[in-house]
């Protein structure tokens, strides 16, 4: 290094390289290097002919470099500074350019995904566009008749079909049509099929997308896809947008950490904006499907959005037979195959399971070189399919069915005896969601207020299930947990909100609308509330027990009928109650899907029901001077305040004409 500053060196060059400087140079003839500088970290010399070359490394240190440079000038040494070594150049490239390339590549991948199915106008243009596939309205051959065993569901959708067929007919009359229909039900119950059938019946394009498609995307893309989806549909209107698995995108907002301004939330917000956007009946109807309506953001189910909810439940025995019929259409069966028998053996099966069952049977028959599917093929296929559902807890044991039947019959009997306010509309042991079965109670009239007696009767009705189990089986199942939840809610509301407890007096202790920080009363009062709630539910439980003890024979009759028919309607329940047997006409009702197999028939039935409803409404309107608007508002108010306890957990399948419908359903697990 000293040499560098002396005149021994003829020329050298300095090149920065990863934090140190490399010096390469030549000695003047005859000069030899003495590598002994503290600047040097390494060096070597080579001698060839008369020229001695050297390379050495200088630690980065500006002063030393400056010294060398200065010395070189004064000693007349040729010196040049090279740019950073080529390896440094590559490092630079890696550090600065590669991420850019990666980003571009990523961008490209995204476009490939986003625009993959778009075709047509180039990939770049399709970025952020909707992935929804418009099914050609002419290719969609699904009709209501392809959806079996879901007569009530179809009935509710007939109106939507009518609207899509001719939106102007409705808009000129100022009729408002639901923007969104939410189909709720377990997997495989035919929600997609039902939505497709609506499009098929109406002959309109069907845009389908799955909620999970939105989730995998970058910020902003989901939202822009929603926008694009609605744009497309509006252009093609009338049309149907089908969003499968809406819970993937429509979960309650703000549940995540850090305020959660995530992609999903943005997408959901965009969806809400779009649904609010088409106020003027633009002929687009959004149908969404989920099996978890309980996790949806409440904003989604507000009026003007998915304000119509249709439950697509598991089929009962008749429904199963009807579905089997649909799927057996082009399959040759031997004489020993009885669809009714199969339906009987498959409680808990949904449409997809039944379709699968027949398909498996056909495969087995083919493998055995048969020309017809016979009972043995069906038997074996059943075992195979059950192995699937059994894992998912779908197939119910005989004991469980009995427990559920007597439990639901208990609700029914108590409801029948205390029938001042409510009518037992339907009772079933077909499981739905976590419920093993359920009884639906309807208010007798257009009831808007709840008296203390009504409330107590409701609680007693809820207690009927557990009471029956205790009487018949001397045991208690977990099936009543939902009943208890509802009963407790009602009793609590009686005590804390409606001033229906003498002990606590005429005060409103809680107001759900105001009490954001919890109740406003002392611990002593809280204890008194608990005690009072317990007293009310115990009292109702005793009432229920007494009623069932008194009507053990009818209770058994209804339970047995439930085990046989699975679902009983109002007429059948009343006939069993009054005459001790099923009504004569119920035989003809056994195949509801045949009753309204075609769309036209379903429509006629709807019109008939609508006429009935109108007639009833007119009757009620006599002597009432309220107009529809304030009446609606009133009923909404009362259902929020007075009916809150049951509405919360049982607002399923609420339609306009049944504002107070109330399902009691029971956990079976
Ligand atoms: N009611 C029914 N009538 C006739 N076939 C049915 C019915 N329900 C289901 N299926 C059969 O099951 C298949 C699957 O149904 P679908 O995909 O519509 O169910 P889903 O409720 O949308 O299920 P998922 O929630 O898993 O998407 C249908 O293509 C059809 O073959
Ligand atoms: Zn119950």
Taking the domains of the chain in order of start, what are their residue ranges?
2-84, 128-311, 317-391, 398-590+626-667
**3-state SS assignment for residue 130:** coil
Higher pLDDT, 386 or 107: 386
Residue with CA at minimum distance from ligand 1 atom 16: 190
224-257 pLDDT, tens digit each: 888 888 888 888 878 899 999 888 888 776 654 4
Ligand 1 atom closest to the Cα of residue 193 is 18
Q: Once rounded to an integer, what is the mean pLDDT over residues 3-31? A: 63
Q: What is the pLDDT of residues 149-189, one digit of tens each?
A: 888 888 889 888 988 888 888 778 877 777 889 999 888 89
Span 518-525, average pLDDT: 73
For residue 95, give the DSSP letter.
I
The verdict on whether residue 407 carries a ligand-binding annotation is yes
Q: Domain 398-590+626-667 is in which class?
A: mainly alpha
For residue 298, give the DSSP letter: G
Is the minimum distance from the CB of 559 to ligand 1 under 6 angstroms?
no
Q: What's residue 113's pLDDT?
A: 45
* 567 bridge partner residues: 428
C-alpha 250 chain-centroid distance = 7
pLDDT (average), residues 356-372: 91
- Pick the closest to residue 216 from 255, 271, 262 (CA basis): 262
Ligand 1 pocket test: which of 147, 190, 194, 597 has the largest number of ligand atoms within 8 Å of its C-beta? Answer: 190
Lowest mean pLDDT among 126-130, 330-334, 526-530, 558-562: 126-130
Give residue 21's pLDDT: 62
Q: How far apart are CA 492 and CA 494, in angstroms?
A: 5
Q: Is 141 annotated as a binding residue?
A: no
pLDDT of 359: 92
Helix (H) or strand (E) holding 55: strand 51-59
Q: For atom 23 of ligand 1, which residue has the closest CA?
A: 188
What is the rounded CA–CA span in Å between residue 467 and residue 499?
A: 28
> DSSP letters of 601-669?
HHHHHHHHHHHHHHHHHHHHHTT----HHHHHHHHHHHHHHTSHHHHHHH-TT--TT-TT-EEEEEE--
Distance 192 CA to ligand 1 centre (A): 6
CA of 248 to the centre of ligand 1 (A): 19
State how far the Cα of 608 lies from the Cα of 366, in Å rounded to an integer: 47
- Whether 248 lines ligand 1, by a CB cut-off of 6 Å, is no
Q: What is the pLDDT of residue 482?
A: 81
pLDDT at 654: 31
Active site residues per annotation = 408
CA of 26 to the centre of ligand 1 (A): 86
Output the pLDDT for position 358: 93
* Torsion, Cα of 460, 461, 465, 467 (10° steps): 30
- The whole-number pLDDT of residue 39 equals 39
Q: Indicate the SS3 state at residue 123.
A: coil
All residues at 6 or more sequence positions from 512 whose CB lies less than 8 Å from its CB, including other chains: 497, 644
Q: Buried b vs exposed e over 491-505: b needs ≥16 C-beta within 10 Å?
A: bbbbbbbbebbeebe
* Residue 188 marked ligand-binding: yes
Strand order in the sheet with 284-290: 133-135, 206-210, 239-244, 284-290, 180-184, 308-311
* Minimum CA distance residue for ligand 1 atom 10: 351
Q: Is 187 annotated as a binding residue?
A: yes
Q: Is the peptide bond before 541 cis (omega within 30 degrees of 0)?
A: no
Does residue 212 line the site of ligand 1, with CB under 6 A? no
CA–CA distance, 320 with 355 (Å, rounded to integer): 10
Q: Strands (DSSP E) along 429-496, which ranges?
A: 435-443
Looking at all shown ligands, the one closest to residue 194's CA atom is 1
pLDDT band at 465 (very low <50, low <70, confident <90, very high): very high
Q: Which atom of ligand 1 is nearest to the CA of 148?
A: 3
Instruction: Put residue 518 in one of left, alpha, beta given phi > 0 → left and psi -120 to 50 → alpha.
Output: left
Which of 438 and 350 is assigned the larger pLDDT?
Answer: 350
436: pLDDT confidence band, cut at 50, 70 and 90? low
Specify whether the CB–CB gap between 229 and 132 falls below 8 A. yes
Give, in order, the Cα–Cα distances in Å from 130 to each of 125, 179, 263.
12, 20, 15
Residue 398 has φ and ψ, to the nearest 5°, of -60, -40
51-59, strands of its sheet edge to edge:
40-48, 51-59, 20-27, 9-17, 78-81
Measured distance CA(439)–CA(560) in Å, rounded: 15
Q: How high is the pLDDT of residue 348?
A: 77
pLDDT score of 54 more than 50: yes
> Tokens 């301004």 map to which residue?
261
Q: Is residue 319 in contact with ligand 1, taking CB distance under 6 Å?
A: no
436 lines ligand 1 (CB under 6 A): no
3-state secondary structure 163-183: HHHCHHHHHCCCCCCCCEEEE
pLDDT level of residue 36 (50, 70, 90 thresholds): very low
The tally of CA atoms less than 13 A away on the side-chain side of residue 283 is: 21
DSSP 3-state assignment of 135?
Answer: strand
- Token pair in block for residue 571: 């007429």
The three-point CA angle 618-301-482 to 5° equals 90
Q: Which of 107-116, 290-299, 660-669 has the lowest mean pLDDT?
A: 660-669
Q: Give the whole-angstrom CA distance, residue 343 versus residue 149.
A: 12
260, exposed or middle or buried, with CB in 10 Å at 0-12, 13-18, 19+?
Answer: exposed
| Contact residues for 612 (Cβ-Cβ < 8 A; gap 6+) | none
- 192 CB within 6 A, ligand 1: yes
- pLDDT for the residue 243: 92
Query: Given this model, what pLDDT does residue 477 score?
Result: 79
> 128-311 is classed in which CATH architecture?
3-Layer(aba) Sandwich (3.40)
Q: Mutation test of ligand 1: which of 192, 353, 602 has the most ligand atoms closer than 8 Å to its C-beta?
A: 192
Residue 193, pLDDT above cutoff 90: yes
- Is residue 389 in contact with ligand 1, taking CB distance under 6 Å? no
ipTM above 0.90, yes or no: yes
Q: Which residue has the higher pLDDT, 319 or 59?
A: 319
Distance of CA 404 to the CA centre of its chain: 27
Where is mean pLDDT largest: 107-121, 430-444, 588-602? Answer: 430-444
CATH number, domain 317-391? 1.10.8.60
Q: Which residue reads 């039944």 in tokens?
A: 354
Q: How far is the CA of 561 from the centre of ligand 2 (A)?
A: 17
The DSSP element (H or E) to which 85 belongs, if any, is none
> Annotation-wise, does 191 bind a ligand?
yes
Confidence bin at 548 (pLDDT 50/70/90): very high
More confident residue, 660 or 485: 485
Q: How far apart are CA 642 and CA 657, in angstroms?
A: 18
More confidently predicted of 631 and 525: 525
Q: Which atom of ligand 1 is closest in space to residue 185's alpha carbon?
A: 21
Residue 483 known to bind ligand = yes
For the segment 64-82, the average pLDDT, to the nearest whole number, is 60
558 lines ligand 1 (CB under 6 A): no
pLDDT at 389 over 60: no
What is the 3 state secondary structure string of 362-412? HHHHHHCCCCCECHHHHHHHHHHHHHHHHHCCCCCCHHHHHHHHHHHHHHH
Closest ligand 1 atom number to CA of residue 147 = 3
d(CA 255, CA 261): 11
The residues, any chain, with a CB within 8 Å of residue 557's CB and separated by 6 or more, are 576, 580
Residue ranges near ligand 2 (ion) with Cβ within 5 Å: 465, 483, 666
What pLDDT, on a 0 to 100 scale, did the predictor assign at position 505? Answer: 72
Q: Assess whether the C-beta atom of 193 lies below 6 angstroms from ligand 1.
A: yes
Q: Is 185 annotated as a binding residue?
A: yes
426 token code pair = 């339907």
pLDDT of residue 304: 79
534-552 mean pLDDT: 94
What pLDDT is attached to residue 624?
A: 45
């Amino acid at each position: 290094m000293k040499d560098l500053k002396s005149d021994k060196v003829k020329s050298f060059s300095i090149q920065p390289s990863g934090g140190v400087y490399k010096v390469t140079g030549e000695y003047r003839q005859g000069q030899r290097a003495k590598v002994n500088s503290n600047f040097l970290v390494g060096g070597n010399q080579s001698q060839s002919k008369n020229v001695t070359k050297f390379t050495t490394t200088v630690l980065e240190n500006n002063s030393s470099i400056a010294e060398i440079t200065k010395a070189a000038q004064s000693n007349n040494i040729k010196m040049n500074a090279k740019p950073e070594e080529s390896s440094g150049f590559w490092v630079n490239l890696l550090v600065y350019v590669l991420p850019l390339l990666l980003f571009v590549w990523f961008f490209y991948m995204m476009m490939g995904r986003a625009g993959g199915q778009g075709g047509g106008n180039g990939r770049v243009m399709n970025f952020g566009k909707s992935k929804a596939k418009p099914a050609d309205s002419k290719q969609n051959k699904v009709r209501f008749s392809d959806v079996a065993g879901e007569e009530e569901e179809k009935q509710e959708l007939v109106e939507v079909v009518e609207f899509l067929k001719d939106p102007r007919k409705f808009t000129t009359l100022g009729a408002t049509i639901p923007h969104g229909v939410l189909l709720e039900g377990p997997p495989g119950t035919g929600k997609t099929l039902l939505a497709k059938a609506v499009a098929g019946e109406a002959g309109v394009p069907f845009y389908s997308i799955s909620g999970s498609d939105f989730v995998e995307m970058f910020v902003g893309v989901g939202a822009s896809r929603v926008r694009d989806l609605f744009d497309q549909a509006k252009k093609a209107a009338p049309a149907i947008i089908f969003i499968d698995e809406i819970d993937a995108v429509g979960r309650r907002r703000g549940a995540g950490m850090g305020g959660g301004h995530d992609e999903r939330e943005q997408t959901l917000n965009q969806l809400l904006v779009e649904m609010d956007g088409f106020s003027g009946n633009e002929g687009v109807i959004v149908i969404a499907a989920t099996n978890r309506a309980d996790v949806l953001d409440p904003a989604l189910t507000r009026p003007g959005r998915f304000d119509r909810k249709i439950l697509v439940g598991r089929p009962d025995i008749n429904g199963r037979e009807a579905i089997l019929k649909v799927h057996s259409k082009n399959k040759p069966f031997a004489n020993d195959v009885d669809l009714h028998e199969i339906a009987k053996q498959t409680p808990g099966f949904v449409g997809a399971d039944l379709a699968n069952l027949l398909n498996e049977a056909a495969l087995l028959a083919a493998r055995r070189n048969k020309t017809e599917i016979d009972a043995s093929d069906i038997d074996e296929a059943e075992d195979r399919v059950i192995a699937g559902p059994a894992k998912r807890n779908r197939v119910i044991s005989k004991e469980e069915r009995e427990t559920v039947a007597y439990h639901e019959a208990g609700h029914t009997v108590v409801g029948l005896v205390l029938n001042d306010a409510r009518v037992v509309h339907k009772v079933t042991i077909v499981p739905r969601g976590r419920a093993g079965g359920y009884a639906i109670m309807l208010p007798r009239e257009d009831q808007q207020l709840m008296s203390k007696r009504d409330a107590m009767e409701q609680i007693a009705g809820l207690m009927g299930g557990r009471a029956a189990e205790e009487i018949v089986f001397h045991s208690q199942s977990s099936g009543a947990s939902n009943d208890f939840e509802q009963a407790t809610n009602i009793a609590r509301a009686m005590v804390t909100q409606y001033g229906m407890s003498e002990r606590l007096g005429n005060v409103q202790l809680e107001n759900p609308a105001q009490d954001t920080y919890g109740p406003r009363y002392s611990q002593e009062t809280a204890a008194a509330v608990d005690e009072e709630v317990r007293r009310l539910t115990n009292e109702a439980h005793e009432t229920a027990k007494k009623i069932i003890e008194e009507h053990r024979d009818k209770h058994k009759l209804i339970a047995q009928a439930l085990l046989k028919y699975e679902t009983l309607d109002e007429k059948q329940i009343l006939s069993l109650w009054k005459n001790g047997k099923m009504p004569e006409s119920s035989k003809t009702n056994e195949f509801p899907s045949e009753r309204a197999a075609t769309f036209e028939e379903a429509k006629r039935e709807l019109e008939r029901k609508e006429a009935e409803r109108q007639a009833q409404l007119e009757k009620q309107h006599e002597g009432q001077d309220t107009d529809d608007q304030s009446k609606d508002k009133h009923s909404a108010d009362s259902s929020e305040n007075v009916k809150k306890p049951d509405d919360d957990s049982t607002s399923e399948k609420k339609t306009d004409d049944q504002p107070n419908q109330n399902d009691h359903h029971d956990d079976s697990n």
